[in-house]
Amino acid sequence: MSSSVEHRCDALIIGSGAAGLTLALKLADKFNVIVLSKSTLSEGATRYAQGGIAAVFDEEDSIDSHVQDTLRAGAGLCDPSAVEYTASQAKRCMEWLIKFGVPFDQETDEQGNTRYHLTREGGHSHRRILHAADATGFAVQNTLQQAVQSHPNIHLFERYNAIDLLRHEKEPTQCVGAYVWNRKQEHVEVIRSRFTALATGGASKVYQYTSNPDVSSGDGIAMAWRAGCSVANMEFNQFHPTCLFHPEAKNFLITEALRGEGAFLCHQDGTPFMHKFDDRGDLAPRDIVARAIDYEMKRLGADCMYLDISHKSADFIVKHFPTIYRKCRSLGIDITRQPIPVVPAAHYSCGGVMTDFNGKTDLENLYAIGEVAYTGLHGANRMASNSLLECVVFAQAAAAHILQNSDRPEFHQDIPAWDESQVSDSDEEVVIQHNWHELRLFMWDYVGIVRTTKRLERAMRRIELLQQEIHDYYANFRVSNNLLELRNLVTVAELIVRCALQRKESRGLHYNLDYPQTNDNPQITVLKGEV
């Protein structure tokens, strides 16, 4: 049976988080837009972001200070022009979110004036984090989602997996849409589009322990790579230092804002330890904090470390961190009286598909925005609360560029139907499950917070074996969600390890015991695609 269902649109947006929905809203007044969501519209990393969004609203703060903090956190690998561009656009983009109704927390000063409450997180020298209590991502997602659901030009395709990007037969540098898998009907369809944007988020599901939702399987990075796009800095995967350690607390993040408000990391007996690792103590950037926790756990043979904010008043804790308070209470942990058990977990992909400041990739008419993209903003380590900011800033930049080029002629071609005539339903789902668990386990053990060359080489040998098995499986059986995600994750794993093997130093999120030094004149790691 071959696919015969085809959809057409001006803009296909693959992904429904802050980046994808912002782009959709900026285009929809003039474009017919399709937004593709692998699960429900709200299920993505944006929804779970707790801390907030960095922007200069305080008169004592400055854009230059935001830039310098980001450059410092990025450990010498940020593109200064990308950082300056993002920081300079931050306030305007936040005002756009406020206009849509995102309920950022406010406070009243001594003169009775109302202003936005700004918090501080690791790496920031000033209070500049706009937030909606400790559920900022949920507030952003909910606000944007309501707007797209009410717009007549935006068509929402929920429970659809993108399989591969489509390139024009005679003009292979042109992207003309994508093959997609309708999970409800269990068949493959074609979406033909004048412009396509990847807003698929990161790839932290490649690791056994992650703060990310299940949909974060590197789909956009893998599809772009298969289509010929270049990727950069894939070795830099940020491990959030504080995920709740509890058997019933899957993926629950303990926001860095707790440390911004005075929480400190400690051993089980309450002894602080961050001062031994960095002068900034508990407000050091995430890579330093994650390695410190990892080191202390291994040194002591402990299952976790602890984060203590119980010295603050109960009213303060419950007001500022209601989500974390309720979650911990449901598990028998009263954070107003006792410390929170925490462990590091894979959290954010600092590398991705290479783009310019308009979100353009190597393929014409193909854009990448948000965590899927490498813009130069994050360098070797992402500073807290710059990620949702990047989503909105570059989504709006991409929208402006697309609209400026909206009169570009459409490329017409007959797109081959998806041919399933030579495949059958799988009778060995256990193979996918086994490979899935094997991949995520050895990536955690060999390509995690601390690496060695031997571990990386060992991981690559296993990746090559998995790739052959998955290729054979993909060629013989009909697609499924697990198969498509596994295919993408093993591609991302290869890109991560290839980049890690190229970096002969330790910097930011990449720490190799064989190369503990930091080199002079560092360069980004680029894997060139072949469009």
Report d(CA 450, CA 442) in Å as an integer: 13
**Residue labelled with tokens 């929809």:** 28
Report d(CA 13, CA 370) in Å as an integer: 12
Pairing of strands 118-119, 129-130: antiparallel
Sheet holding 53-54, edge to edge: 53-54, 129-130, 118-119
Among 202, 278, 263, CA closest to 46: 202
Q: Does residue 286 have an active-site annotation?
A: yes
How many CB atoms lie under 10 A from the CB of residue 133?
A: 20
Given the residues 286, 455, 462, 507, the one annotated as active site: 286
Report d(CA 48, CA 435) in Å as an integer: 27
Report d(CA 63, CA 381) in Å as an integer: 19
Q: Tell me 417's DSSP state.
A: P
Query: Which residue type does 88 have?
Result: S
| Radius of gyration (C-alpha) of the chain in whole angstroms | 22
Question: What is the SS3 assignment for 293-321?
Answer: HHHHHHHHCCCCEEEECCCCCHHHHHHHC
How far CA 1 is from CA of 4, 186, 419, 423, in Å, comes to 9, 12, 6, 10
Q: Tell me 8's DSSP state.
A: E
Pairing of strands 187-198, 114-116: unpaired
418, 3 contact by CB (below 8 A):
yes
Q: Tell me 385's DSSP state.
A: T
Calculate the CA 398 to chain-centre distance.
Answer: 18
Residues classed as catalytic: 286
